[in-house]
Structure 1
Amino acid sequence: MRRLLPLLLLLLGTALPALAQSTSSPTQAFPYTLKTDKLPNGLTVVRVPYPSQGIVSYVTVVRVGSRNEVEAGKTGFAHFFEHMMFKGTPRHPEGERERILGTFGFDDNAFTTDDITLYYSYGPTAGLPQLIDIEADRFRNLEYAEPSFRTEALAVLGEYHKSAAAPFLKMEETLNAAAFTKHTYRHTTLGFYEDIKAMPEAYQYSRDFFQRWYTPDNTLLFIVGDFDDDQVMKLVREHYGPWDRKTSTITVPTEPPQTQPRSAHVDWPQPTQPRQVLAWHTPAASANTNNAAIQTVLVAYLVGPTSPAYKQLVLEQQLVESIGSDYVDHRDPHLFTLTATLKDERHRDRVRLALLREVSKVAAGKVDAARVKAIQDNARYGALMALQTPRDVGIQLGWYAGILGTPDGLQRHLGHLAKVTPAQLSEFTKRYLQASKLTQLSLTPKVDTAGGTK
C-alpha cells in the first residue's frame, strides 16, 4: 500500500489554489484551446477539450533525458528509469496498475529521448478518475526492490544487444563520438555499453535518480479529450498536490565550437547497404527563436521529395535507395544531418558531392521561394493531419513542451514554421552549414561473394 498521507497535508493539497492560470485560444495552425494551471508545487497541468466522445489522452512529460546524465559511468539511466516507472508502488504493487487500466481498455506506453521522457495513456473517460489516482501515485511513490531492479537492468542490456544488431545504433554512437567532445549528447539515449553492463550494481543511484528528476517542477501533464474540467482539476489537485520534491541542479557541459572538419567510419560486419551522413553543429530549439523551424524547412528543401537532390539521386540516376535527415529538435545545440542509403559503394563520392552542392546553392542565396512556400503549406497541413486523435494531440503537445519548456511549445513552433523566409534559409545555411563545422560519417558493409554489397 502507498504511504498514507496525513489528513492535514491531503486537505492542504486539495484546498490550495493554482499559482498561475492561462488559456490559449485556437488558431488556424492549432485549432484547440489550452487551459493551463501551475500548481503550488510547480506541476504544470494543461487541459485540452477535444470532441472525442468519451475518450481521453493522458500524457506526462518529465524533462529528463540522456542530456541530464552528467555523472561518469551513469549514462543510460533516463531510458532505464522509464522501464522502472512501471514497477509499482506500495499502494499499487507491480502489475496492479496494468490490471486496473486494462479493465478500462487503456492503451499505455512511454518513450525516452535525449531530452525528455514521455508517458501516455489513452482510453475511456470513465476511467480517468482511477488513472489520475494511479499516475499521481507512481510519480510520487514509486517503489521497487533490488532484485526487480537487477532483472530490469538485464532486460535493458538485452534491448541494447537487439538494437546493436542493426547498423543504426553503431552509426549514432560513432557520429556522436566524433561530433561531441564535451556535451552529454556524446552518448546515445541507451547509454555507453560499459555503463549499461554496470547498471545492476547501481540500485541506490537509481533511487536517487527518481528523487532528483521525477519532481513536479520538472513535469508537465496534458489531458486531452472529453472530460469535465472542474472535476479533473479537483482530482489533480487532490492527488498531485502533496507531491513536493524539487528538481536537481546540474551543469551540462557546453560543447566547444568545431573549427575543423571531422570524419568517422564504420566497418559493418554484415551485408547491408552503404550509408553516408553529413552532420553540422546547429543551434538548439527555442520557444523564442525560429531556429528549429528553419531546420525543419531546410530538411524538406534539401532532401525532401520535391528537392532537386531527390529527383537526381533517387529518381533519375538511381544512385541511392533513399535520402533524408535524422534532424530532431533538441534542448541544446545538436546536429543538422543529411543522410543517404547508397545502392553501391562506388557511388559514395558522387552522392556526397551532390548533397554538398545543394547546400552550397542555398548558402549562396539560390532559394526557390515558391518551393519554400509549398513546403510550409505541406508542413502546416501535415501538422493538422497528425492531430486526428486525443493521443496524437497529447503526444505532440508533450513533445514540444518538453523540448521548449513551455506548454504552448507546439503552437509556437507552428507559428515560427509559417514565418520562415528564403532569406533566413540562406543565412542559416551560410552561417552554420560550413565546411569547418562538418562531420562526415560513412558505413561500409561486408562484401558478399559476388563482389557487391547488400
Structure 2
Amino acid sequence: MPRLLPLLLLLLLAPVLPASAQPQEASRFFPYTLKTTRLPNGLTVVRVPFNSPGIVAYVTAVRVGSRNEVEPGRTGFAHFFEHMMFKGTKAHPEGQRESILGGFGFDDNAFTTDDITVYQVYGPTAGLQQLIALEADRFQNLTYSEPSFQTEALAVLGEYHKNAASPNLKLEESLAKTAFTRHTYQHTTLGFYEDIQAMPKAYAYSRAFFERWYTPANTTLFIVGDFDDAQVLAEVTKQYGAWSRKATTVTIPTEPAQQKARAIHVDWPQPTQPRHVLAWHAPAARADTPDAAIMAVLAEYLVGDTSPAYKELVLEKQLVESLNIYSTPHRDPYLFPIDATLQDEKHRAAVDASLRREVKALIDGKVDAARVKAIQDHVRYGMLMDQETPRDVAIDLALYAGVMGPPDALSSYLRQLGTVTPEQLTAFAKKYLVDPNLTVLTLTPKAAAAGGTK
C-alpha cells in the first residue's frame, strides 16, 4: 500500500535553538555529527560533514502532508503542491532551475507522505552556492499561472488513475476510511478522488496553501556531504534570511478510541492475489518515547524472516506469498498492520488463525529474548548500512525529524532500538494488539471469487 510502504517512509520544530548551536556529539548510535542552527526567522539548518569528496546532498523537509488537510473538499493538496514547487519563479521561470541544476549534474526529486514533504537535490559541491540560491528563491517566491496550475491538476488526476489500476490504492483507501472516523489519516496522500477531480478549480486555494505551510518555521534544511560549513551557513543565511512568512497551525481532529473490531471487504474485479490485513491502532512516533522502536522490533518479531509465522506460512506450508508489517513512523497515532498476500483464497481462515495465534502468544508473555536481541542488532545495523551516501543520511534525518520534531530524532530512534525489551513487546501487545482495536481488511480478486486462484 503506497502510504504504508516504508520510505522509508510531523509538534512544530522542537524547542528553539540558539542562533549558533554547538555541534552535537557523534554517538555510537548515529555516527555523524549534526551542526544545527536556527535562523531568526525560524528556519532550521542542519549540516552534517560526510566523507564524500566533491559531493553534497541538499534536502528540504516541510512538515506538511495529507495529515494537515483538514478542510472538506481539499484533500490531496500536500502531494499536489509538491508538483507545483517545480513551476518556477519570476527570477527563474519554469525549466530554468532544472537547466542550471542539470548543467552541474545534480539529481533532483521530491516525495510526499502522510506527515511531511521532502525535496532532495544531490550532486557536486561545486554547484552548492547556486543551488542554495535557487532553492531559497522557489521556497520564497514560487509563482505559476492558473492555466499551468490546471494542467498539473489534470496530471495528478492521471497519476491517481494509474495508481487505481493496482489493488494497493483501493486497499489503502478502504483501510484508512474504515479505521479512521475523524482523523485526517482517513484519506490517502493522493486524497479523495472527488477532491482530485475538483482541483483545477482551486487555484486561489493553492496559493493560500503555499502561504500557510511553506514557512521558515515549518521547514528544515539538511545539508550532508563535502562542504565548508562556515561558507554554507553564511550563504543560507544570506539567501533565506529575508523569508518572513508566518507559521500557521490547524487543529487536527483527534481520532476517538475504537470500541469494537471493524471489518471491510474489497471485491477486486481483476485477477490478483487475495489479501488479508490485520490492522491495530497504534501510538504516534515521538522522540521522547520508545513506541516507534518497539513497533519496528515487534514487526520483525511477528512476521520477519526468523519468525514462526514466516516459517510456517511462507516457507513450510506455502499458504502465503509474502508477509509484511509496514510500521512507518507517523506523527499522530496510526496503524500497526500485518499485510498477508495469500497464495489462494481457501487459505484465508488458516492464515488468519495463525497470525492471531502469534499475537496471542506475545500477549501471554511468550517472548524469545534471544531473538529480540538479534532483531534489535539487525534493524539498527541495517539502517546504518543503508546510510551509504550523503543523500541516504539526509533523507533519513529528514524523515525522522519531520515526523518526530527534533532535528536529531533519528539518533534518538537508533538509541531506543537498542533498549527495547521483551517485556515492552508484551506490554505493547496487551495494550494495542487486542480485538476492540482491530480492523480486518480482506480483498478477493475476481478469479478467486469464481473458484480459486492457481
> Scaled by the length of structure 2, what TM-score is found?
0.95
**Conservation of the 8 A alpha-carbon contact between 1:89 and 1:138:** yes
How far does residue 245 in structure 1 lie from its aligned partner after superposition?
0.7
How far does residue 26 in structure 1 lie from its aligned partner after superposition?
1.3
Matched residue, 1:132: 132
**Conservation of the 8 A alpha-carbon contact between 2:274 and 2:448:** no
- Alpha-carbon separation, structure 1, partners of 2:22 and 2:336: 35
Q: Give the gaps of 5 or more residues in structure 2.
A: 1-16
**Conservation of the 8 A alpha-carbon contact between 1:132 and 1:236:** yes
**Conservation of the 8 A alpha-carbon contact between 2:344 and 2:448:** no
Question: Which residue identity lines up with residue 151 of structure 1 in the other structure?
Answer: T
Matched residue, 2:118: 118
- Alpha-carbon separation, structure 2, partners of 1:383 and 1:347: 34
How far does residue 451 in structure 1 lie from its aligned partner after superposition?
3.4
**Conservation of the 8 A alpha-carbon contact between 1:293 and 1:417:** yes
CA RMSD in angstroms comes to 1.2
Matched residue, 1:288: 288
Q: Are residues 110 and 23 of structure 1, via their aligned partners in 2, closer, same or farther at CA, if it must alter by over 3 Å?
A: same
How far does residue 327 in structure 1 lie from its aligned partner after superposition?
2.2
- How do residues 8-23 of structure 1 correspond to structure 2 at under 5 angstroms? 19-23=19-23
Matched residue, 2:184: 184
How far does residue 325 in structure 1 lie from its aligned partner after superposition?
1.2
How far does residue 18 in structure 1 lie from its aligned partner after superposition?
6.3
1:225 and 2:225 are equivalent in the alignment: yes
- Alpha-carbon separation, structure 2, partners of 1:449 and 1:189: 30
Matched residue, 2:420: 420
How far does residue 152 in structure 1 lie from its aligned partner after superposition?
0.1
What SS does structure 1 have at the residue aligned with 2:35?
strand
Matched residue, 1:83: 83
- How do residues 306-325 of structure 1 correspond to structure 2 at under 5 angstroms? 306-325=306-325
What SS does structure 1 have at the residue aligned with 2:22?
strand
How far does residue 448 in structure 1 lie from its aligned partner after superposition?
6.9
Matched residue, 1:47: 47
Question: Which residue identity lines up with residue 220 of structure 1 in the other structure?
Answer: T
Q: Give the gaps of 5 or more residues in structure 1.
A: 1-16
Matched residue, 2:8: none
1:400 and 2:404 are equivalent in the alignment: no
Matched residue, 1:447: 447
- Alpha-carbon separation, structure 2, partners of 1:403 and 1:452: 42
- How do residues 367-378 of structure 1 correspond to structure 2 at under 5 angstroms? 367-378=367-378
- Alpha-carbon separation, structure 2, partners of 1:20 and 1:258: 46
What SS does structure 1 have at the residue aligned with 2:160?
helix
- Alpha-carbon separation, structure 2, partners of 1:323 and 1:279: 13
Question: Which residue identity lines up with residue 446 of structure 2 in the other structure?
Answer: K
Matched residue, 2:385: 385
Matched residue, 2:264: 264
Matched residue, 1:14: none
Q: Are residues 128 and 45 of structure 1, via their aligned partners in 2, closer, same or farther at CA, if it must alter by over 3 Å?
A: same
- Alpha-carbon separation, structure 2, partners of 1:378 and 1:397: 20
> Scaled by the length of structure 1, what TM-score is found?
0.95
- Alpha-carbon separation, structure 2, partners of 1:197 and 1:412: 41
- Alpha-carbon separation, structure 1, partners of 2:434 and 2:247: 38
What SS does structure 2 have at the residue aligned with 1:48?
strand
What SS does structure 2 have at the residue aligned with 1:331?
coil
- Alpha-carbon separation, structure 2, partners of 1:66 and 1:247: 18
Matched residue, 1:240: 240
- Alpha-carbon separation, structure 1, partners of 2:355 and 2:166: 25
- Alpha-carbon separation, structure 1, partners of 2:214 and 2:47: 21
How far does residue 20 in structure 1 lie from its aligned partner after superposition?
4.7
- Alpha-carbon separation, structure 2, partners of 1:383 and 1:119: 21
**Conservation of the 8 A alpha-carbon contact between 1:18 and 1:40:** no
1:200 and 2:210 are equivalent in the alignment: no
How far does residue 450 in structure 1 lie from its aligned partner after superposition?
8.5
What SS does structure 2 have at the residue aligned with 1:447?
helix
What SS does structure 2 have at the residue aligned with 1:23?
coil
Displacement over 6 Å in runs of 4+: none
Matched residue, 1:143: 143
Matched residue, 1:7: none
- Alpha-carbon separation, structure 2, partners of 1:28 and 1:382: 14
**Conservation of the 8 A alpha-carbon contact between 2:146 and 2:203:** yes
Deviations, residues 282-304 of structure 1 (Å, cap 9, x unaligned): 10000100001000000000000
Matched residue, 2:304: 304
**Conservation of the 8 A alpha-carbon contact between 2:57 and 2:224:** yes
- Alpha-carbon separation, structure 1, partners of 2:392 and 2:60: 14
Question: Which residue identity lines up with residue 122 of structure 2 in the other structure?
Answer: Y
**Conservation of the 8 A alpha-carbon contact between 2:345 and 2:448:** no
- Alpha-carbon separation, structure 1, partners of 2:328 and 2:266: 22
- Alpha-carbon separation, structure 1, partners of 2:381 and 2:312: 27
What SS does structure 1 have at the residue aligned with 2:21?
strand
- Alpha-carbon separation, structure 2, partners of 1:68 and 1:366: 40
Q: Identity of paired residues, percent?
A: 67
- Alpha-carbon separation, structure 1, partners of 2:87 and 2:140: 13
